[in-house]
């Protein structure tokens, strides 16, 4: 990076763009503007090698590739922008004293990277640098609290809801059955944060809606998950569940397609994919224990178990295998999948994911 002072990091040179991975700075800048929203636009300079990103501010961002092949976003900071912005991981900041400009670049970014991923990262950097937020608003531009938006959308379908507050968390309870206690819930969440709230104004770039059902046994299962602008999709999912009579749901919607996944058998790769999705959906950490492993991989007979965080194995409800192999449409409730203890996960071979082998064959 040809700069006067460097805030952190040292960039490395990268290869020139190739015909297989053409990269046009102006096109990239337009993609960043699209992600930031209608307040932003992009224009081309220097035959497309420089992009100017303009937003709701008097100053703009200049996107260009410098002589060390770093994709840079340079700007003149405004007084009301954050003084100590938290940039996305991998970004480095620098200052150009001679031009009285600042800039950032994503270390390791290359022309062959996924262009949408790159645009998302630089859009996030612009938000951090400017403090820009897109929030949910009505037709008059007034901010709308999530509770009001959700209750109105539900009421339009004849569905009532009430808010529940527990410490820092809050959510909407929808269609509670007074006899069984079954109901749906709806709330906002942001990234990996542990708290969720419906008494805030949704940030259209950071917040997400989460809709789930809660069964008579208290089991919570995902119905729909959408960005902040996708409230109607979550409301539609709740309405369909209520219209169907609040049927019992034993597996989250996002893994329903795993039914029959192992109809024709399974491989270690298939095990990793299916078991990872089950765990991500709130299920137990399942593992497959094979008879042996050799140079060709895992083989022989196999058996499913659930593994705890301390390496203990537990038997698994047979329904799990029957459901994955297509012999059962609906398994036992996920909360009942784990049965009695089966001993420690003490095996000579593992892929560090979801596969173990009782023996290792060499030669």
**pLDDT 10s digits, 55-86:** 999 999 999 998 888 999 999 999 999 989 98
Identify the pLDDT of residue 281.
84
Identify the pLDDT of residue 104.
96
Kindly tell me if the per-residue pLDDT of 193 is higher than 70.
no
**Cβ 102 vs Cβ 67: under 8 Å:** no
Identify the pLDDT of residue 107.
92
pTM to 2 decimals?
A: 0.53
Per-residue pLDDT reduced to its tens digit, 267-301: 999 999 999 999 988 888 999 999 999 988 999 99
Identify the pLDDT of residue 276.
94
Residue (of 180, 145, 176) closest to 161 by Cα position: 176
Identify the pLDDT of residue 356.
95
Instruction: Choose between 193 and 206: higher pLDDT.
Output: 206
Q: Is 40 helix (H, G, I), strand (E, B) or coil?
A: coil
pLDDT band at 316 (very low <50, low <70, confident <90, very high): very high
pLDDT band at 195 (very low <50, low <70, confident <90, very high): confident
**Cβ 214 vs Cβ 183: under 8 Å:** yes
Kindly tell me if the per-residue pLDDT of 5 is higher than 70.
no
Per-residue pLDDT reduced to its tens digit, 14-71: 333 344 445 788 889 999 999 888 889 999 988 878 999 999 999 999 999 988 889 9
Instruction: Find the mean pLDDT for residues 327-342.
Output: 83
- The H or E element that residue 116 is part of is helix 115-130
User: 254 φ, ψ to 5°?
Assistant: -75, -10
Instruction: Find the mean pLDDT for residues 108-118.
Output: 85
pLDDT band at 10 (very low <50, low <70, confident <90, very high): very low
Instruction: Choose between 121 and 334: higher pLDDT.
Output: 121
Identify the pLDDT of residue 22.
55
Structural Rg of the chain based on CA atoms: 26
Q: Which residues contact 350 (CB under 8 A, 6 or more apart)?
A: 356, 357
**Cβ 323 vs Cβ 331: under 8 Å:** yes
Looking up tokens 């940030």 gives: 203
Say what percent of the chain tops pLDDT 90.
Answer: 46
The long-range contacts involving 151-155, CB below 8 angstroms and separated by at least 24 positions, are 153/231, 153/232, 153/235, 154/186, 154/235, 154/238, 154/239
Distance CA 169, CA 146 (A): 13
Distance CA 213, CA 175 (A): 10
Distance CA 276, CA 271 (A): 8
Kindly tell me if the per-residue pLDDT of 2 is higher than 80.
no
């Amino acid at each position: 990076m040809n700069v006067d002072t460097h805030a952190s990091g040292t960039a490395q040179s990268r290869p020139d763009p190739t015909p297989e991975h053409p990269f046009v700075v102006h096109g990239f800048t337009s993609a960043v503007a699209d992600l930031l929203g209608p307040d932003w636009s992009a224009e081309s300079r220097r035959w497309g090698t420089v992009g100017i990103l303009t937003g709701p501010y008097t100053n703009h961002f200049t996107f260009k590739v410098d002589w060390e092949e770093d994709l840079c976003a340079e700007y003149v900071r405004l007084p009301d922008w954050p003084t100590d912005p938290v940039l996305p991981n991998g970004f480095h900041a620098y200052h150009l004293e001679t031009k009285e400009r600042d800039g950032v670049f994503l270390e390791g970014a290359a022309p062959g990277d996924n262009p949408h991923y790159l645009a998302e990262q630089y859009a996030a950097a612009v938000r951090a640098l400017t403090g820009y937020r897109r929030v949910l608003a009505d037709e008059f531009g007034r901010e709308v609290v999530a509770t009001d938006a959700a209750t109105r959308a539900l009421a339009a379908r004849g569905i009532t809801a009430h808010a529940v507050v527990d410490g820092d968390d809050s959510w909407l309870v929808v269609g509670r059955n007074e006899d069984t206690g079954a109901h749906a819930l709806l709330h906002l969440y942001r990234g990996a944060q542990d708290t969720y709230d419906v008494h805030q104004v949704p940030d259209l770039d950071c917040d997400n809606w989460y809709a789930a059902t809660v069964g008579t046994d208290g089991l919570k299962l995902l119905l729909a998950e959408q960005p902040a602008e996708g409230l109607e999709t979550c409301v539609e999912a709740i309405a369909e569940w209520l219209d169907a009579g609040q049927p019992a749901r034993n597996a989250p919607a996002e893994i329903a397609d795993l039914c029959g996944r192992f109809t024709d058998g399974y491989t270690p790769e298939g095990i990793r994919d299916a078991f990872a999705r089950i765990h991500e959906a709130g299920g137990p950490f399942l593992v497959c224990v094979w008879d042996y492993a050799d140079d060709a991989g895992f083989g022989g007979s196999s058996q499913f178990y659930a593994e705890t965080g301390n390496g203990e194995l537990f038997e698994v409800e047979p329904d799990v295998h029957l459901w994955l192999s297509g012999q059962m449409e609906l398994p036992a409730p996920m909360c009942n999948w784990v049965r009695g203890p089966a001993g420690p996960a003490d095996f000579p071979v593992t892929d560090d994911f979801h596969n173990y082998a009782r023996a290792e064959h060499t030669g």
